A and B are shown apart, each in its own frame.
Chain A
Amino acid sequence: MSDSTAIAHGAHDAPEHGHEEHPAYLRHHFENVEQQADAAGFAMWLFLLTEVMFFGGLFTAYLIYRNWYYPAFVAASHQLSIPLGGLNTLLLITSSFTMAMGVWCAEVRKKSGLVLCLVLTFVLGLGFLGIKTIEYKEKFEKNHVPGSHFSVDSFTHPDLDNPVTAKDQPLALDMARHTEVYFSLYFAMTGMHALHMIIGIAILGYMIFRAQAGAYTAGHVTFVENFGLYWHFVDIVWIFLFPLLYLISRHS
């Protein structure tokens, strides 16, 4: 993810200067701009593959524990709000779209369009985190956060739960205790996802200032393009998290 370090020399990037001339952003160990862009894209994908393995491990753990403690996982997943999760899915998918449009604006050198797309992506990302905060707050209030304050009351006495959870049968205490495993995985997976969002939003903030200075609309789009790959990857993780955590146990 090498950033353009030479906005001031942007005038150099016109190819008609001849063979000796090359854009200031071309590092000397690359033959040409295409090779540099290909290498950067390849490296970004290798990084994303390590991310796939990282989240893949969490997904595998979720799959196995869900099979072991199935009744606990079903009851615990009924604590999540589908409207809030669905709204977050809409926000994230839309932010992925605005990011893709941002990459397009950079490629066709539309500076104001790029800034607008980055700001929209930034705002949608913050909206996602805001809704996630509402969801986490409810978990803290109902003592559903794993740890010494964790309470199984919602699952041993679902009729006293506030708000009453669907028509869940009460769980025996030993099975109800395993809901803590569900919430551990819930917080690990959505928490790591949220951390990736926070990092992405921080980089977006930096990119908005750089884009206003014209850094990405002078031909060197690698940074925006590779950040786009990262943002879309974070979107894909949520595309799997939402059905697996919120939806699949709705009827069990």
Chain B
Amino acid sequence: MTDQKEMEAASHHVVSPKIYVAILFALLVGTAITVGASYVNLGIFNPIVAIAIACAKATLVVLFFMHVKYSSKLTKLTVFCGLFTFLALIGMTLADYISRAWGRW
């Protein structure tokens, strides 16, 4: 019975509004930085910086707004598996497109 109560407490973690406000602020700052960075000429680093900031913002949303940080191991594993499969598929597709015309650039 005690175990069950502990489990209930773990699965019913209520995230405090203070954290939500902090995440909102971080996301707004991230948006400002990414717009600001796009007006600076960074050469090939413009897309890299933009995607890095977008990944950071998405991570914040997934961990806090979507509660994954406080979720069960099953949920964490599910999210990670999805992300891994997605990156593997993109990686293999790009490897194909890069190597098809190898030496004929």
Contacts and interface: CB of A to CB of B under 8 A. Distances in A.
B60 to A, nearest CB: 10
A251 B42 contact: yes
Interface in A62-97: 63-64, 67, 82, 86, 89-90, 93-94, 96-97
Contacts of A93: 24, 27-28, 31
A248 B86 contact: no
Contacts of A235: 61, 65
Interface size class of A (residues with CB under 8 A): 35 or more
A53 interface: yes
B98 to A, nearest CB: 9
Interface string A229-250: 1001101100110111011101
Interface in B34-66: 34-35, 37-43, 46-47, 50-51, 53-54, 57-58, 61-62, 64-66
Interface string B7-43: 1100110110100110110011001001101111111
Nearest to B20: A100
B57 A239 contact: yes
Contacts of B90: 56, 59-60, 63
B78 A42 contact: yes
A240 B82 contact: no
Contacts of B21: 97
Nearest to B27: A93
Interface string A16-42: 000000000000000010100110011
B75 A42 contact: yes
Chain A contact residues: helix, strand, loop or mixed: helix
Given A41-B75, A56-B86, A236-B61, A243 B54 contact: yes
Contacts of B11: 34, 37-38
A194 to B, nearest CB: 19
Interface stretch (A101-109, A118-126, A183-191, A198-206): A101-109
A52 interface: yes
A49 interface: yes
A46 interface: yes
A160 to B, nearest CB: 26
Interface of A: 32, 34, 37-38, 41-42, 45-46, 48-49, 52-53, 56, 59-60, 63-64, 67, 82, 86, 89-90, 93-94, 96-97, 99-101, 104, 107-108, 228-229, 232-233, 235-236, 239-240, 242-244, 246-248, 250-252
27 contacts: A34-B12, A45-B75, A45-B79, A49-B82, A90-B28, A93-B31, A96-B61, A96-B65, A100-B15, A100-B65, A101-B17, A101-B20, A104-B14, A104-B20, A229-B66, A232-B62, A236-B58, A240-B54, A243-B51, A244-B51, A246-B38, A247-B34, A247-B35, A247-B37, A247-B46, A248-B38, A250-B39
Top 10 nearest A-B pairs (CB, nearest first) are: A49-B82, A243-B50, A247-B38, A248-B47, A97-B24, A251-B41, A250-B38, A100-B65, A236-B58, A93-B27
